[in-house]
Structure 1
Amino acid sequence: MTMKWYDLAKTLMKAQGITQEQLAEHLGITKGAVNHWLNTRREPSLEEIAHILEFLGKKNFSVGAGGLIIDDALKGNVAYVGRYKSGKKYPVLSSVKAGAWGEAVEAYTMKDIDQWFESDAHIQGDAFWLEVEGDSMTAPVGLSIPEGTFVLFDTGRDPVNGSLVIAKLSDTNEATFKKLIIDGGQKYLKGLNPQWPLVPINGNCRIIGVGVETKLRLI
């Protein structure tokens, strides 16, 4: 099956409830740039197209001439053919609870860190990976971040409504991973799992990072 990449992207975004703002946040670019790409006023690179579709859950495809997406179900399991460009490596610091507040056990010196994962995301501050524990970010439909997923957090990015953030209690070493909701000036933390309720936040915690990328290791 072939179709234009932007038509496929818009179909996947609509099905998953992902907005242009959320896609822009993930890619580290402006909403205007995403709008230009999706409406063919500007053309992203092949690497950027692959990054967008992978974020939207499209796994088996190749990008052909003119931005055509070729479904590889009929011709092998080739995800993307192109020149490999390595990204920067960021440390895996600890685990974070995707549920109730839980202890965040952080490595204190670089020599204590034995895992480093690569990313080509646009990072605005210091960044680190955390492994998700719990099921509050596991959704039955749409965007879902299950237990065992590694999330890359950018400490220099400003959180906005809809950002996926790590929040840490001000007076303890406890943290949680949630979606930030801002409604009428009030801030809340919400799980992607609909069974988890909205939790209002105020001066009792601070947001220390915004999620920009996920990685799931199978072995």
Structure 2
Amino acid sequence: MSKEDHVHMRKPITIGAAIKRRRQALGWTLQRVCDETGGALYTGYLSEVEKGKSMPSVDKAHAIATVLGTTIDQLIDEGASASTPQAPREHATRAPVVPWDQAAQWAQEPDISGLPSGTPWEVPLDSKSPRGFFLRLSDESMHAPAGPAFPNGSLIFVDPDLEHQVNDFVVGYDSDPTAPTFKKIVKHGTQSYLQALNPQFPAIQINGNFRVIGVVIGMTMRTSRGLIR
């Protein structure tokens, strides 16, 4: 073989070992990675990828990289150099979609072990809060016919570290921390209210017992066949 042939030879691209190192660094099982991708792959296939017996397609590699908080390029670099996982080149921190009855508890003391199996994790909005989390809306109370609207099925991002002010959208509870509500804080005279954006829902007067869990700073949603997923 000539020297020129050596120059043009490239090592085969492998990312299995890099995927396995990142997965183990997170303390995740094969099933956890598959669950986080939303069912884009299954454990037997992922195991084959990690062993280098199979190379994932671009869409599957992207799904794996995303849930592991990195990029395909970095997985390739780490696979080629056998280096330890590095910080991603793009913002890839993720926050969980917390059940409503766990929102208050998560805001006070985040504990991944307390989340249900298969909890989705999403890229958060503009927030540096380590306690930030998503909630999935399950009613139409904040879906307005005009102006700001939060449709049923969408995800709202809650920042527990922001101090709420009048006209903020907040998640909070009155007496039961396992039954929080999502509303806008408004003020009329000296009295504050929780206002739904949907005019069919009445405003609720705030008493001294209401506790704000966090301020809602944005919303995200995915659609499929005309439905919000």
Q: Shorter-chain TM-score: which interval? A: 0.5 to 0.7
Q: How does 1:41-60 map to 2 (within 5 A)?
A: none
1:182 positional shift: 2.3
More strand by share: 1
Unaligned runs of at least 5 residues, structure 1: 1-83, 96-103
1:127 is aligned to: 132
1:168 positional shift: 1.2
2:127–2:159 Cα contact (<8 Å) kept: no
Work out whether 1:110 is the aligned partner of 2:120.
no
Unaligned runs of at least 5 residues, structure 2: 1-88, 224-228
Work out whether 1:200 is the aligned partner of 2:184.
no
1:93 positional shift: 0.8
2:125–2:218 Cα contact (<8 Å) kept: no
Q: In 2, distance between residues paired with 1:138 and 1:204?
A: 26
Which of the residues 174, 180, 189 maps onto 2:194? Answer: 189
Q: How does 1:1-219 map to 2 (within 5 A)?
A: 85-95=90-100, 104-105=101-102, 109-111=111-113, 112-113=115-116, 114-124=119-129, 126-218=131-223, 219=229
1:125–1:155 Cα contact (<8 Å) kept: no
1:92–1:130 Cα contact (<8 Å) kept: yes
Q: In 2, distance between residues paired with 1:137 and 1:123?
A: 25
* Amino acid in structure 2 at the alignment position of 1:195: Q
The ranges of structure 1 where at least 4 consecutive aligned residues each deviate by more than 6 angstroms after the TM superposition are none
Number of aligned residue pairs:
128
Q: RCO higher in 1 or 2 (8 Å CA, sep ≥ 6)?
A: 1
1:174 positional shift: 1.4
Q: SS where residue 166 of structure 1 aligns? A: strand
When the two chains are superposed, the root-mean-square deviation of aligned CA atoms in Å is 2.3
1:145 positional shift: 0.4
2:173–2:212 Cα contact (<8 Å) kept: yes
